[in-house]
Structure 1
C-alpha cells in the first residue's frame, strides 16, 4: 500500500508537533490534570484560532478545512506523543462526525461552533447495564428523556451532549442533542486513571425541543456504529504517539543507564527488546493507516479494518508499555517520570472502544457472514 501525505497534511502534522513541543510540556500538564478544571480552555481556543485545528477534519460548509480521517489520524498521533487531555477525540471526531452526517440547520450550526471553538459537544452512549435503556417519549413541546449514561469522557467540559436513547414505541436507537445546562440533567464528575475527566449522567424528566432529535427517530444505530468505529481508529492513531514516546524514552534511558562499566544499551538482549518494540509499533501503524483509509468504505469493510487495527494496536500497546517499564525498572511506574503516565494511557487505549476479545469476536462474526 502506497500512502503519502499531501503538503497540507504535512504542514498540519509539523505545525502541531512544533506547537505542542513548546506549549504542552509534561510538568505543566501534570499540574493541570491534578487541578481544576483538569484541562486548558485557553489552549482549546488557541487550537481553533491559531492552528485551525478544530476544523481540520470538518467539512468546509461548516467552517472546517475539508479534511477527514487522515487529518484526524495525524492530530491524534501528535496528541498521543504529548499526552494531550483536551477533548479533540470526543468533540471533533465523535460528535462532529455524527453532526456532519445529520440533516438540518441546527446540526450544521452546532458543527460550525465546534470548528470555531465556541462549543464542546461530547457523546454519551454507554450505560451501566449495557445496551440502550434510556427512554425518550414524545411530548407536546418535543421530547422527554429518562435514563442513565456511564463514563462519558470529557462530559464535565461539554457545552452540549449527544445522548442515545430508545424512543417509546420503536426498537431502534435515536440520538438527541442535550444542552449541558438543561433542566433534568445531572452529572457526577470524576477523574480517570489516565488523567482525563469523565462523568455519569442521569436524565430525569429531561425536557427537549423537537429539534433536539438528530435525523429520524429509531434510525440512528448505523450512525452510532460508524461513530464508534471512527473513535476506535482515532485512539489507534493516538496509541502510535503514545508508543513512540514510550520507545524514545526507553531508548534514551538505556543509553544512560550503566552496568559493568558500560551503557546497558550495548547488551544484545536489550537491543533485541528495543527492536521488537519498534516492530510492534510499525505493525500497529500499518493497521491504523489502513483502518483510517477504510472509514469511508462499506460498513462491513470499515468494521473489519477497524477491528483488525484495534486488536493489533491493543497488543502492541501492552507489549511496548510493559517492556518500557521493565527496562526502566521499578522507577518506570512512579509519577516522577512521564513513563508512568504514558503507560496508563496505553493501558486505557487497550480497552477503549472495545477490547481485544470484543474485536476478535466481531471480526470472526463478520467473516462468518461473508462465508
Structure 2
C-alpha cells in the first residue's frame, strides 16, 4: 500500500484540523486546568466530535458506525496532538471500539457499540497495577461466584477511569501472577457495587485514576472473549491505543516544530533574528527529519492495523518507540530554542512537553517497546 493518505483520509484530516483549531485549541486545555474541571474535558466539544462521526470511525456500520479504520482514527488523533485536545477519544473511540468490535459477544456489541458511536458512552481500559506498564503482571483475581465472577484487586494509571461508564478490566482466572495464560477480560460498569475510583491529577492536566475492586460481582455475560485466554485480545486492544498515541505524539511533535520555527523567525537577539544562526537551523533541520521518519512509521503501522491486525504488534512497538523518542526530542528542543520563556506558563509550548512525557509512558515507553520489538525479532 502506498505510504500516502487516501483522498478520503486527507479530507478528514483537513476537517479535523480546522475544527480542533477553532473548538479545542490549547487554550481549552489551559481553561480546563485552571478551572479544575471535574470531568477533565469539554463535554460539548465531545458531543460535536460524535456528531461529526469521529467516535464511530472504528465501529462497524451495523452498529451505527462508519468503519473507516485505524488510518482515519490516527489522522484524528494526530490533529488532536497538535492542539492537545483533552477527550476520551483514545480510551473510547479507539480502544473501547476495538475491544468490543473485535472480541465482544453479539449482546455486548449491541449494547455498547451504538452508544460509543453516538458519543453517549465512555470506556476505559484498566490493565496496569504498578508504576510501570506490564500487562502480564496481573494480580487482580476473578473467582467464580454463582453464575459469574467476583473481582478483587486494584488498577493504576487508568486513563479516563473516573469518567468511564464501563471499564475493561484484566483479571486472573488461572495461572501465576506473571503468566500470559490465565488472564481474562471483563466489562465492569463504573457504578457496580464494590468499585472505588480515585481520580489522579496528572502533570499533563489529563485524566487518570486508581481503581479498586472489592469483591465486585459480575455475571458470565461480562466476560469479554474467552475465559483464561484474554492476554492476546488485551494486547490487540492495547496495540490500537499505542498506535493512537503514536499518531497523537506525531501531531504534537509537528506542532512543537511549527511553533519553534515561527518563534525563531521573530525573536531578535543582539539585533539579529535568531533563526539566522546556523546552529539553530541545524537543530531545526535535524528535528524535521526525525519527525518525517516518525510520521512514516506511524502511517505504516495504522495501515497494518487495518490490513492485518493480528500481525501488527511489531510495527506498533516500532512506532510507539520511535515516535516516543521523537516527540520528546521535539518538546525538549522547542523548550531549549524558546529559551527561558519556554518554561513559563505564559507560552503554550510547556504544555506539550508535559503531555508528551505522559503519552510516551502510557501503555509502554520507548524502552519497553524497543525491548519488545527486539524479542519479537529474536535478538
User: What TM-score bracket applies, with the shorter chain setting the length?
Assistant: over 0.9
TM-score (norm 1): 0.94
Find the residue that maps to 2:217 and give its secondary structure. Answer: strand
Matches of 1:216 and 1:42 in 2, distance apart?
Answer: 37
**Which residue, 253, 256, 260 being the options, matches 1:250?**
260
Superposed CA offset, 1:184-203 (max 9, x none): 00011122111111111111
**In structure 2, what is the equivalent of residue 138 of structure 1?**
144
TM-fit CA distance, 1:299: 7.2
Q: Deviations over 1:123-177 (max 9, x none)?
A: 1111128511111122224221111111101011111111111125794211111
Match of 2:218 among 196, 208, 213: 208
* Structure 1 residue 298, shift from structure 2 partner: 5.9
Q: Is the 8 A contact 1:62 1:109 kept in 2?
A: no
Q: Give the aligned partner of residue 79 of structure 1.
A: 80
Q: Report the count of equivalent residues.
A: 368
* Counterpart for residue 91 of structure 1: 92
Runs of 4 or more consecutive aligned structure 1 residues displaced over 4 Å after TM superposition: 168-171, 296-301
The 3 A distance-change label for structure 1 pair 362 and 25 is closer
Q: Does 1:330 align with 2:340?
A: yes
Q: 1:23 is matched with which residue?
A: 23
Structure 2 residue 173 is matched with structure 1 residue 193:
no
Q: CA contact under 8 A between 2:58 and 2:97: conserved in structure 1?
A: no
What residue number does 2:169 align with? Answer: 163
**Is the partner of 1:145 in helix, strand or coil?**
strand
Q: What CA deviation, in whole Å up to 9, does each residue of 1:323-358 have, x standing for no partner?
A: 111111111122111100011112222222212221
1:39 paired residue among 41, 45, 52: 41
The match for 1:222 among 200, 213, 232 is 232
Equivalent in 279, 289, 295 of residue 285 of structure 1? 295
Name 2:122's counterpart in structure 1: 120
Superposition deviation, residue 64 in structure 1: 0.8
CA contact (8 A) 2:124 2:167 kept: yes
CA contact (8 A) 1:314 1:355 kept: yes
CA distance in 1, matches of 2:153, 2:285: 49
TM-fit CA distance, 1:94? 1.0
Matches of 1:281 and 1:237, distance apart in 2: 11
Residue segments in structure 1 that go unaligned for 5+ positions in a row? none
**Given the alignment of the two structures, is residue 68 of structure 1 paired with residue 74 of structure 2, yes or no?**
no
Partner residue in 2 for 1:183 = 193
Matching residue within 283, 286, 289 for 1:273? 283
1:311 counterpart = 2:321: yes
Distance 1:187 1:14 in 2: 38
Contiguous gaps of at least 5 residues in structure 2 = none
SS of 1:342's equivalent in the other structure is helix
2:58 and 2:70 in contact (8 A); partners too: yes
Shift of 1:119: 0.7
> TM-score, with normalisation over the residues of structure 2?
0.92
Separation of aligned partners in 2, 1:55 and 1:189 = 27
Q: Which deviates further from its counterpart, 218-227 or 129-138?
A: 129-138
| CA RMSD in angstroms, aligned pairs only | 1.8
* C-alpha displacement of 1:300: 7.7
**Cα distance in structure 2, aligned partners of 1:235 and 1:169:** 31
